[in-house]
């Protein structure tokens, strides 16, 4: 085995370990450090630097992190800014490492199998814990944060599972890659139940859109209109049944609908959707006073908290909430420049992926776009590492495939 082959194999297996442990929220930073060390020991820096500057997407992704670094120059809360840069390190590390040593497209399957396995293990751990608590104390831990938060936030693990679901369905459309029904059907059932128990509103909305989207695609391409009609009916009946027999879930949805339709939201409101809407109004005001450059990398939360205090938003103030929307979060911190660059990081790769028929990458970015609407996902490592890793993996792996064919 040559030195190059050894480093390539280590690189690939570390990528699999990262994918597996992401749903478990354990050890991922360790494997990232090992991947960086392997990349450094491998050397060949002259060629790697040339590859970075030749790839427009690597420069695009890296520039988003560099803008956060620049935002440190005019921030007041430097320690907070430095911490933010530390949390977001994956945004620059993965584009550098995976653009210069991309994993070939034919190995993506193994990495997604690792992610799938990690999701199954996480679901099993959560279910066993909930069953044990119910049997020993009679308490219901089969729902939302009680079910998942000891391991990972339900919104993040729901996003991971929805990406995995998309990958499974895409593979099932390809005769050469599809799983046997003995494996595929139980996995779909497990992940569907898992997302229902997690009860993340965006997770449930995303899953429904995935199923409806794939059903429409299947019906249109195969002309199986009866199957499509039955499928839509099954989805509709399933939603009604869930709302009927899961009062906690229906209660969350009713409160969310009430928060959206109520024009007189109380400032002390603690319901998650209502709080988000109040926070977004506060963020709008902060943005209006710092439109071009924002308040700086380290001052976003401080400025939001000041606005909460002015408005008497006791619920948001107590928890020192971030913007709970990545678009608002970036706009507050880095202004119009940062907001445009964030959109560029999402829509330029999506346009390219659509042109090159990279369906998985398109769906991944759509899922990210949706989840950015309700969470500041790049403010936590669970969001940053997942986005940065799979964004770079899918973008640069496809590039390798195209270059080889040409």
State mean pLDDT over 334-357.
96
The answer to whether 277 touches 259, Cβ cutoff 8 Å, is: yes
Count of domains in the chain? Answer: 1
Angle between helices 326-355 and 300-311 (to 10 degrees): 130
State mean pLDDT over 87-109.
94
CB-side neighbour CA atoms (13 Å) of 138: 0
Name the more confident of 271 and 107: 107
pLDDT of residue 272 exceeding 80, the answer is no
Q: Cα–chain-centroid distance for residue 233?
A: 30
Structure token digits, residue 71: 């935002």
Name the more confident of 147 and 230: 147
pLDDT of residue 399 exceeding 50, the answer is no
Q: pTM higher than 0.85 for the full model?
A: yes
Which residues, 6+ apart, have CB-to-CB distance to 327 below 8 Å? Answer: 339, 342, 372, 373
pLDDT of residue 123 exceeding 70, the answer is yes
Enclosing domain of residue 262: 3-405
pLDDT of residue 262 exceeding 60, the answer is no
pLDDT of residue 102 exceeding 80, the answer is yes
376 in the Ramachandran plot: left (φ > 0), alpha (ψ -120 to 50) or beta? beta
The DSSP result for 48-106, as a single string, is: HHHHHHH-HHHHHHHHHHHHHHHGGGG-S-HHHHHHHHHHTTHHHHHHHHHHHSPPPGG
For tokens 């569907």, name the residue: 192
Rounded Cα distance, 342 and 376, in Å: 13
- Structure confidence by residue, pLDDT tens digits, 173-205: 887 778 888 999 899 999 999 999 998 989 999
Q: How high does pLDDT run on average in the chain?
A: 89
pLDDT of residue 129 exceeding 90, the answer is yes
């Amino acid at each position: 085995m040559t030195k190059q082959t050894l480093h390539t194999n280590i690189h690939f297996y570390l990528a699999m370990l990262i994918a597996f442990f992401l749903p478990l929220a354990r050890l991922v930073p360790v494997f990232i450090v090992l991947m960086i060390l392997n990349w450094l020991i491998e050397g060949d820096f002259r060629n790697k630097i040339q590859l970075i500057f030749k790839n427009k997407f690597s420069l695009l992704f890296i520039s988003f992190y560099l803008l956060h670094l620049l935002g440190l120059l005019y921030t007041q809360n430097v320690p907070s800014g430095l911490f933010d840069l530390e949390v977001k390190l994956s945004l620059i590390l993965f584009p550098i490492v995976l653009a210069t040593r991309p994993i070939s497209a034919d190995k993506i399957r193994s990495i997604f199998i690792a992610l799938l396995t990690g999701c199954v293990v996480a679901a099993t751990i959560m279910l066993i814990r909930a069953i044990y608590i119910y049997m020993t104390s009679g308490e219901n831990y089969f729902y939302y944060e009680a079910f998942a938060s000891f391991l990972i936030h339900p919104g993040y693990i729901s996003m991971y599972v929805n990406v995995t679901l998309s990958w499974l369905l895409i593979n099932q459309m390809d005769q050469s890659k599809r799983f046997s029904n003995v494996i595929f059907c139980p996995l779909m059932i497990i992940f569907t139940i898992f997302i229902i128990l997690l009860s993340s509103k965006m997770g449930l909305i995303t899953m429904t859109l995935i199923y409806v989207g794939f059903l429409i695609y299947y019906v249109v391409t195969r002309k199986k209109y009866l199957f499509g009609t039955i499928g839509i009916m099954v989805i509709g009946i399933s939603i009604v049944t869930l709302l009927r027999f899961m009062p906690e879930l229906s209660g969350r949805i009713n409160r969310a609908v009430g928060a959206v339709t109520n024009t007189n939201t109380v400032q002390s409101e603690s319901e998650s959707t209502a709080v988000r809407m109040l926070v977004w109004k506060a963020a709008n005001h902060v943005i209006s006073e710092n439109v071009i450059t924002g308040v700086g990398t380290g001052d976003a939360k401080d400025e939001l908290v000041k606005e909460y205090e002015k408005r008497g938003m006791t619920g948001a103030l107590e928890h020192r909430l971030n913007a709970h929307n990545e678009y608002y979060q970036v706009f507050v911190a880095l202004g119009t420049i940062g907001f445009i660059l964030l959109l560029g990081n999402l829509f330029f790769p999506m346009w390219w992926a659509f042109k090159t028929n990279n369906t998985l990458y398109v769906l991944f970015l759509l899922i990210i776009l949706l989840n950015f609407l309700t969470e500041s996902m790049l403010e936590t490592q669970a969001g940053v590492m997942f986005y940065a890793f799979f964004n770079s993996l899918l973008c640069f792996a496809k590039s390798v495939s195209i270059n080889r064919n040409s």
